[in-house]
Structure 1
Amino acid sequence: MDGVREGGIPVRPELRPDIEFLPPEEGERSWTIADERHRRFTRLGGGAAALLRGLDGTRDLQQVRHDLGPGVAQEQVEAALRKFTELGLLVGTDTPPAKESRFRFQPPASLQFTVLDRPGFLAPGRLLPRLMANRVVAAGCLLAVLAGLVAVSLGAAEVAKAAWHPMPWQHWLIAAAVVIAVNAVHELAHGAVLARFGGRPHRIGAMLFYCAPAMFCDVTDLWRLRTRGQRVLVALAGVICQLAAAGLLAAGSALCSGELADLLGLCALMTAFTGILNLLPFIRLDGYIALMAWVNIPNLRDKSMADCRAVMNWTVFGGPRPERTLPDGWAVFGAFCLLYPWVLVFNLLVIAHGSLMAYGAWGALSWLSLLAGVIGYVLYRLALMYRASGARNPVRGLITLAALGAGLIALGQSQPHTEKVYGAYTTAGGRTEAVFPDAPGVLAPLPGGSVELMHGGILGRRTVGSGTTGPEEGPGAGTTGPEGGRAKAPLDLFVPFEGIPGELAVRSYRLESVTLRTGAPSRGVAVARAGTTTWLGHVNRLAVTDPWKTLSGVWR
């Protein structure tokens, strides 16, 4: 290579010798370019692939264009070469791969720890892939799923009880262990099916995924497979395995009785729930990998989000008109991919608010610090988007963002929001009592306000009755004596676990005009009205008013 032109294109471009060309499947025209050094796969059209394959370092740009014939413009050749240069496919244009750490953070909320890199036991031809990935095992998984569906549909399995009623905390520990074990088999199933078809997993390990412990198996090698069907099977192998395990557990629950049936039903519910959750296509789960494999577009999520950002840069910051890499509809998919992780983060913030505010000043300070960190990260991402937009008129971006902010504030101020407080109810001796946590940031129910009574299981929220709040009173059913004007209630009234030790300071109310359905449980969830405000007022209370009231109370 004699030198580099402006824009980084080599004067005599030459294909890196370690680049592999994977031919298209039948009916397709695009070739897959495998860059094993950087563990990256790129899809190129037939013409671009032919151009790349012919770059041997002996010809300059003029000769390359001449050899392609008069039908190809120099601008097209240079655009393709710029893309090859950006991807590092040419000699002298690739950067050395960064030293991979066992810990890897993937925004916004995934922390991975690699346990094994290129595990040998999941190589093609090894024993485990032959045992796990064959037609007999596939047929067995199908029968297990059918057995579980039959058991649940006939009402024999205790899955419904696990969903709607509190279970002993020991059962939850066992169920969590079962889910983790099944998740390990789930990830091995991905690797085994990939190896059965001739690929090999890059990494396998553990991770925290939106604060939830899980395992992962990097199956990027599925792009080496020749057919979509094989790639989709690799992506869905773990979910199929997980649903089969849930089916076996449900069938076992139907064949047992007593506490063992309850435990197996709970394990079946949690295993099936985590398996179905994996089918979500908007975050990097199995459903997304299956969708990406089926539509035959590597890095579908990144490309669709890039298209969505390009549209946003154009409309918000006045950047150049977007040149999309995918058809128009995928920009909408990219918008969902951009927003969905933040929906999860918002839910985590709501949970964190309820948990941290119970710890007084330290909790309020922790909540404000967490909120400031999230807001700072959002502003940082907006700044990066602005820099990448190439905006010609910065004022336009500021005006657009100000208008969007004003519109959101006006919408939030115009939409009413009913404030609710969540607690528990108990019934004993004809008396129904509702108790609500007595902690900073927890509103008091309205006197005479409506109260919904619901199941108290992990899925809960199924109404079993109603009532209205009477005057606040001393301890009654389900509570113990007052201490300093506060009643105490068992902690397990407020969680879907039985037998949790400890008590919680509560406000206690006797319920009036109570109606309960036949067979309603003697304890469950109580949801009471606590006033009416706007959505903006609700967010302001959670984010600002509650923590500052708590802190100012300490300072006084």
Structure 2
Amino acid sequence: MDDIPLIFDPVTGNYHRITRAGEVVLTYLDGTRTRDDLIAFLSRADQARAEALSRQIDTFLAALDRSGLLEGSEPELADKSQKVGRVRTSMLMPRIILTRSLPRVLEPLAAVLRAVPAKLLVLIAALGALAGYAFGFHTLFAAMPPPQDLAGPAFLLATGVMLLYVLMHETAHALVAQILGTPVRGLGVALLFYFMPVAYVDRTDAYRFRGRGGRVTLAMAGILSDGWFCALSGVVALNSAGILRDTAALLLGMQLLMLIINLNPLMPSDGYTALEAASGLTNARGRAFALLRHTVRREELPAHLAKLSKTARRGHMAYGLFSVAYVCLLAYTMFHAVPITVDLALSVVGR
């Protein structure tokens, strides 16, 4: 990942960052050497060097053991009384995989697209998306009736079509991953912060692709595909009447909300992932929330956070606090939007 060495755990499918020195040590962990053998081999009979290496090797082996990466080890748990398997669910986003067959389904199309110059594909997708968003949202704000006039069966139809758009959004991510040779692991549904259902594709293995441009394109693929569908909704809205026009208008409103959510850099969204890929930053949100958690609990910071400069630490703290505020605002907005949504849903059955 940006030339940072990673350990891949085939049991959990997780990646773990290590240093270059750790990468060298790993080449000697082949099961034939004890800890003392390893120190003696690397120090080459230099007693002073052996003492320094002893501390470093012990720290490294302890970290591997806590992560469950040594034969017979298990990941260290915050609560020792809990018994869980090695496969763990994210605390902030429980996930359910619906299918793992997307790579097989998408490979024929991916093989055709690989023959087209990558820059040309990205240019066409980006220009089409920008034009689609501009046209669709201009139609929404300039030519559509007010929301209260759109109640009825159109809400139910728009919700169904929007689910199809979301599926196509995630399929776009999967298609780009397939083109890049890092197939997604599956398509599923997650509950963001336990209250917001979102579809997703597991593209963890994008770390294997060398090159930030490809990873940025992979992160933005869904947003680019949404722009094309936004144009489609705008065309239907301008060239129809009655329930079809109302459905298209509601779809445009839903697509605007989806774009705002997907571009938000403060959540694990496409925009955040693209920023990570473009900047080379890794897990900025995770570090920010870990800093907040340890600060509130007055706990000692782990080594990777303690080494951050004061400026970086303040930046991560500010980022974490802003993220918490955003989540609270989002939850508040969703709570107050429930009555409106219920009214639209009841209008489907004439109540």
Give the TM interval when normalised to the shorter protein.
Answer: 0.7 to 0.9
Deviations 1:115-167 (A, max 9, x none): 113644257xx2143467765654443343343355368x5x24445584421
Aligned equivalent of 1:82, options 57, 62, 69: 62
* Distance change >3 Å, CA 151–CA 202, structure 1 → 2: closer
1:334 maps to what in 2? 320
2:32 maps to what in 1? 58
Deviations 1:267-289 (A, max 9, x none): 23322321331122333322232
2:185 maps to what in 1? 202
- Structure 1 unaligned residues grouped into runs of 5+: 1-23, 356-456, 459-490, 503-556
- Work out whether 1:246 is the aligned partner of 2:227: no
Whether contact under 8 Å (1:193, 1:234) holds in the other structure is yes
Deviations 1:58-80 (A, max 9, x none): 33333423443429542222112
Whether contact under 8 Å (2:129, 2:227) holds in the other structure is yes
Match of 1:46, as an amino acid?
R
Aligned 1:131-530 pairs, distance under 5 A: 135=118, 138-151=122-135, 157-160=139-142, 162=144, 164-166=146-148, 167-209=150-192, 211-254=195-238, 256-259=239-242, 260-314=244-298, 319-320=299-300, 323-325=303-305, 327-328=312-313, 329-348=315-334, 501-502=350-351
Deviations 1:498-518 (A, max 9, x none): 78733xxxxxxxxxxxxxxxx
Whether contact under 8 Å (1:311, 1:322) holds in the other structure is no
1:39 Cα offset (Å): 1.0
Whether contact under 8 Å (1:122, 1:195) holds in the other structure is no
Q: Percent identity, please.
A: 23
The 2-side partners of 1:342 and 1:239 are apart by: 24
1:194 Cα offset (Å): 1.0
Bigger helix fraction: 2
SS at match of 2:181: coil
2:16 maps to what in 1? 42
Bigger strand fraction: 1
- Structure 2 unaligned residues grouped into runs of 5+: 44-48, 76-82
1:129 maps to what in 2? 110
* Distance change >3 Å, CA 296–CA 32, structure 1 → 2: farther
2:100 maps to what in 1? 117
Whether contact under 8 Å (1:184, 1:215) holds in the other structure is yes
SS at match of 2:96: strand
Match of 1:501, as an amino acid?
G
Match of 1:277, as an amino acid?
I
1:13 maps to what in 2? none
Whether contact under 8 Å (2:162, 2:251) holds in the other structure is yes
Match of 1:127, as an amino acid?
P
Q: Which has the higher contact order (CA 8 A, sep 6+)?
A: 2
1:222 Cα offset (Å): 0.8
Match of 2:189, as an amino acid?
A
1:516 maps to what in 2? none
1:93 maps to what in 2? 73
The 2-side partners of 1:87 and 1:291 are apart by: 27
Whether contact under 8 Å (1:245, 1:268) holds in the other structure is no
Match of 1:64, as an amino acid?
L
1:220 Cα offset (Å): 0.8
SS at match of 1:278: helix
SS at match of 2:33: coil
Match of 2:234, as an amino acid?
A
2:80 maps to what in 1? none
The 2-side partners of 1:184 and 1:159 are apart by: 26
Farther-moved stretch of structure 1 (244-253 vs 194-203) = 244-253
Whether contact under 8 Å (2:189, 2:200) holds in the other structure is yes
- Work out whether 1:31 is the aligned partner of 2:5: yes
1:307 Cα offset (Å): 2.5
The 1-side partners of 2:130 and 2:245 are apart by: 19
The 2-side partners of 1:41 and 1:499 are apart by: 47
Scaled by the length of structure 1, the TM-score of the pair is 0.51
Aligned 1:10-29 pairs, distance under 5 A: 25=2, 28=3
Alpha-carbon RMSD across the aligned residues, in angstroms, is 3.7
The 2-side partners of 1:269 and 1:88 are apart by: 46
* Distance change >3 Å, CA 270–CA 304, structure 1 → 2: same
Scaled by the length of structure 2, the TM-score of the pair is 0.76
* Distance change >3 Å, CA 177–CA 293, structure 1 → 2: same
| Count of aligned pairs between the two proteins | 326
* Distance change >3 Å, CA 60–CA 215, structure 1 → 2: same
Match of 1:148, as an amino acid?
G
The 2-side partners of 1:279 and 1:146 are apart by: 14
1:223 Cα offset (Å): 0.9
SS at match of 1:115: strand
The 2-side partners of 1:84 and 1:62 are apart by: 17
